[in-house]
Amino acid sequence: MLGDRTGAEDAVQDGVAQAWRGVGQFRGDAAFGTWLHRIVVRACLHHLRDRRAPEVIEGLAEAERRFLDPDYTVDPAEVVARASDAGKLRQALETLPDVYRVAVLLHDVDGLTGAEVAETTGVPLGTAKARIRRGRIALLAELARKQTASETEQRTGRPC
């Protein structure tokens, strides 16, 4: 979610500490794990706010417009080749603006429902669903994108 191990450890530590301090506020409306998960995710979002500038979403809007174009399609083999490599899939996820990456991770990796993503991230259901949808479209476009020679070189090493 944060894209680096140290940031993730700090955020989870903050979340657990906040949960401990606020344990008296746990009312038992949801399972304890769900309550704790929500606090930790919000601590992660707080770290992202601290770390990154406001996102420009124009690129995502463009990806969504292109996705609806009847002439647009992708090569499934290209997508499968990159998505099946966990490292490349993580790199592609890293290209998404934070709120969209978080929505996709919570929904498609952690298996939360749209309503649970909304509740966990503190946004209305419609916003959560739009973020999941736009995040998926942008991720697909990134996985389908033809890599430049320098990107391939960076990842595989320069031939001697």
Question: Which residue, 25 or 150, has its beta carbon nearer to another protein?
Answer: 25
Residue 42 or 136: the one with the smaller Cβ distance to another protein is 136
Cα separations (Å) of 152 from 28, 98, 157?
Answer: 50, 25, 8
**Least separation in angstroms between CB 129 and another protein:** 9
Site string for another protein, 57-76 (x = CB under 8 A): ----------xxxxxxxxxx
Nearer to another protein, 45 or 137 (CB): 137
Task: Round to whole Å and give the CA distance between 41 and 29.
Answer: 18
Which residue's structure tokens are 């530590």? 13
Backbone angles phi, psi at 70, to 5 degrees: -60, -25
Mapped onto helix, strand or coil, the DSSP state of residue 30 is coil
Q: Is 20 in the site for another protein (CB under 8 A)?
A: yes
Q: Kindly state the smallest distance separating residue 158's Cβ from another protein, in Å.
A: 28
Does residue 144 bind another protein (CB under 8 A)?
yes
Using CB under 8 A, pick the residue from 40, 104, 112, 128 that binds another protein: 104
Q: How far is CA 133 from CA 50, 61, 82, in A?
A: 25, 11, 20
Q: Please, are residues 143 and 92 in contact by the beta-carbon 8 Å criterion?
A: yes
Three-class DSSP category at 71:
coil
Count of residues of this chain found to bind another protein when the rule CB under 8 A is applied: 39
Nearer to another protein, 83 or 150 (CB): 83
Q: Please report whether residue 87 would count as binding another protein according to CB under 8 A.
A: no
